[in-house]
Structure 1
Amino acid sequence: MTSPMTDNWRLKIEHRSGFDYAGPVSSSYHEARMWPRNEARQAVLDAHVEVWPPARTYRYEDYWGTVVTAFDLQAPHETVTVTATSTVETQPPGDLIDDGEGAGWPDLAVPETVDRWYELLRPTPRTGLTDELTAIAADIRGAHSTPHAAALAACEFVRAEVAVRPGPRGAVVATGPADAGGQSAARDVGELRRGACQDISHLTVGLLRAMGVPARYVSGYLHPAPAAAIGDTVAGQSHAWVEWWVGRWTAFDPVNGVPVGERHVVVGRGREHGDVPPLKALYPGPAGSGGTGRAVEVTITRLR
């Protein structure tokens, strides 16, 4: 009989988030990226997104393949609440690449490969590195004969050097007329040696790209308990991890130091968090009337 720890899991996820505005807002436009993906490692059995105040919603896939639930409010309001509920069947890690396997360094340098993954090789506002971190990336690359082994070593370096700061960072984004630009989370966390899962994933992605390994940021959910009891509802996490390409994509959670498996649920992928924010709003109004992102609440129940 197969141990429950190696079986597929069935997870019910409820994700509640929103905005509180400083005063009445006459209209606002929203994008929610809370709908899990249907793909080889996970199957979405049920999903729906509810908004308050009530509004008509529509769904589409964005440039990166993430399901977006969009809606707008055209009556005065001071608060917005979005609740996404889904049931997802997930699988344990499988078909893992050994350290010495996968594409070699010359393979990643072929012009066709560089052109194919150009967007996932370039630094972004949140994945740019300091000179010190760039030198560390070069050292890690030089010490390993294959890109996959170097990628795993980069994850080990980040896990050893950076303490996890609890709580999601930048989970919601409200954009008004005087919105400021992004910041380099990778640079900040590299200097401070402390960050949330989003920051740690940005740093890992930055190191991978500096080594010449195509890498993408993954946004989703994590059940916190490897030995979760069936039927128990727990406080889950809005989580982030990384994937890199060495002939094919492989996923790893640098925060927990494990391959992505049955406890992980993918929602979206992109260059960085800015491509996959769970909730984003655009509103017209004077400076200072901006929205404050409400605390994110995620609950997860293992159904099987």
Structure 2
Amino acid sequence: MSTEEPAEAPEPASLACGMKLAVVHRTVFYYGSPVIDSVNTLHLEPRTFPFQQTLGALVKVLPATRVRRFTDLFQNITHHFELPQPHAKLEIESRIKVRNLPLEISSDAKVSTLDDCKDCSIRERIWPFLQESHLISKTPDVWRQAVDLTRGHVSVYEQALAILHWIHATFSYESGSTHVHTHMEEAFELRRGVCQDYTHVMIGLCRAVGIGARYASGYLYNGPRDRLVGAQASHAWCEVYLPGAGWIGFDPTNGTLADARYVKIAVGRDYDDVAPVKGSYHGHGHCHMEVTVEVSRIES
């Protein structure tokens, strides 16, 4: 199998100084008959990450209720609320603004190898993201594919790019072909799916050869000249740990690095750790969900 990969596309000039972005995310649940005891956990507010500063964030829930805000195991800002009373509609809205800096990766980080990850402090940091998780496993077939793709590439950066380009070139983006609970093994066999599946497969391939990789969820701004898949919706991409740079985003859905167009909300081992809205309720009514996402650039 050839491991020759296309060179990185040049960074758009508009990203050279970064950008400010605003996101409005609305999720509405309509129930066929009133439900009770709704319990929900949200990942809709970003903390400040390297290359991204949170300028403002507001999460609103209707019917009105007390919302508890805390950080989870991965330091993601998390909201939790309960609605014990009967209700036929639940509306969750988040409004955030961020300032993104240009993505910069030093030449030293681009040539760092897996040997550089053997430092105890780095191993401790990436250990959870080297293991199998609920939706990601390291099967023999995944390992063989990962070895094929990374053969001949010395640095972690080059290996991650080889995996990214293979997924982007080989997989078909097909909405409805998978669902939020689809395991990466199924997506790997199907060679199709959506951004969540592309991300799970890349994470699995990376972990199979000892590259620390984690799941990032958020949003993507599609500028007037961009042709990016996943804009104006929740988006997902893989983050790889590069010694000397930290966690750097690789988006196999679009075949590009996660640059200033990406708004990162939460990180975890896989989708289950970072679902935007996750909950349960008691009731027998049919539930219909509507989700809208608006991502816009703030001129400054």
Classify the TM-score, shorter chain: 0.7 to 0.9
How do 1:69-88 and structure 2 match up within 5 A?
Answer: 69-88=79-98
Ranges in structure 2 where 5+ consecutive residues have no aligned partner:
1-11
Q: Pick closer, same or farther for the CA change 1:98–1:155 going to 2, 3 Å.
A: farther
Q: Pick closer, same or farther for the CA change 1:302–1:115 going to 2, 3 Å.
A: closer
Contact 1:19/1:291 (CA < 8 Å) preserved in 2? no
How do 1:289-304 and structure 2 match up within 5 A?
Answer: 289=284, 292=287, 294-304=289-299
> 1:139 and 2:128 equivalent?
no
Q: Report the Cα distance in structure 2 between the residues aligned to 1:87 and 1:169, rounded to whole angstroms.
A: 31
CA shift for structure 1 position 36: 2.0
> 1:208 and 2:169 equivalent?
no
CA shift for structure 1 position 84: 0.4
Q: Report the Cα distance in structure 2 between the residues aligned to 1:254 and 1:226, rounded to whole angstroms.
A: 21
Q: Pick closer, same or farther for the CA change 1:139–1:226 going to 2, 3 Å.
A: farther
Contact 1:168/1:238 (CA < 8 Å) preserved in 2? no
Aligned to 2:65: 55
How do 1:1-304 and structure 2 match up within 5 A?
Answer: 4-97=14-107, 101-102=111-112, 104-108=113-117, 113-166=122-175, 182-184=181-183, 186-225=184-223, 227=225, 236-247=232-243, 248-283=246-281, 285=282, 289=284, 292=287, 294-304=289-299
**Which whole-Å deviations, capped at 9, do the CAs of 1:250-293 have from their partners, x for residues lacking one?**
2221111222111100100000000000001133x36xx37746
Contact 2:59/2:95 (CA < 8 Å) preserved in 1? yes
Q: Pick closer, same or farther for the CA change 1:224–1:57 going to 2, 3 Å.
A: same
CA shift for structure 1 position 115: 4.8
Contact 1:5/1:227 (CA < 8 Å) preserved in 2? no
Query: Size of the alignment, in residue pairs?
Result: 282
Name the SS of the counterpart of 2:253 in structure 1: coil
CA shift for structure 1 position 183: 4.5
Name the SS of the counterpart of 2:295 in structure 1: strand
Letter of the structure 1 residue corresponding to residue 144 of structure 2: A
Using structure 1 for the length normalisation, give the TM-score. Answer: 0.83
Q: Pick closer, same or farther for the CA change 1:169–1:290 going to 2, 3 Å.
A: farther
Contact 2:46/2:54 (CA < 8 Å) preserved in 1? yes
Aligned to 1:175: none
CA shift for structure 1 position 19: 2.8
**Which whole-Å deviations, capped at 9, do the CAs of 1:48-105 have from their partners, x for residues lacking one?**
0111111121211111111112211121012211010111111222135578611x23
Q: What is the root-mean-square deviation in Å for CA atoms of aligned residues? A: 2.6
Letter of the structure 2 residue corresponding to residue 91 of structure 1: L
Q: Pick closer, same or farther for the CA change 1:70–1:134 going to 2, 3 Å.
A: same
Q: Pick closer, same or farther for the CA change 1:56–1:257 going to 2, 3 Å.
A: same
Q: Report the Cα distance in structure 2 between the residues aligned to 1:51 and 1:169, rounded to whole angstroms.
A: 29
Q: Report the Cα distance in structure 1 between the residues aligned to 2:57 and 2:286, rounded to whole angstroms.
A: 27
Name the SS of the counterpart of 1:94 in structure 2: coil
Using structure 2 for the length normalisation, give the TM-score. Answer: 0.84
Name the SS of the counterpart of 2:98 in structure 1: strand
Contact 1:60/1:69 (CA < 8 Å) preserved in 2? yes
CA shift for structure 1 position 134: 2.0
Moved more, 65-74 or 2-11: 2-11
Contact 1:169/1:196 (CA < 8 Å) preserved in 2? yes
Letter of the structure 1 residue corresponding to residue 247 of structure 2: W
Letter of the structure 1 residue corresponding to residue 92 of structure 2: V
Ranges in structure 1 where 5+ consecutive residues have no aligned partner:
172-181, 229-234
Q: Pick closer, same or farther for the CA change 1:3–1:202 going to 2, 3 Å.
A: closer
Q: Report the Cα distance in structure 1 between the residues aligned to 2:48 and 2:120, rounded to whole angstroms.
A: 32
Report the identity percentage.
Answer: 30
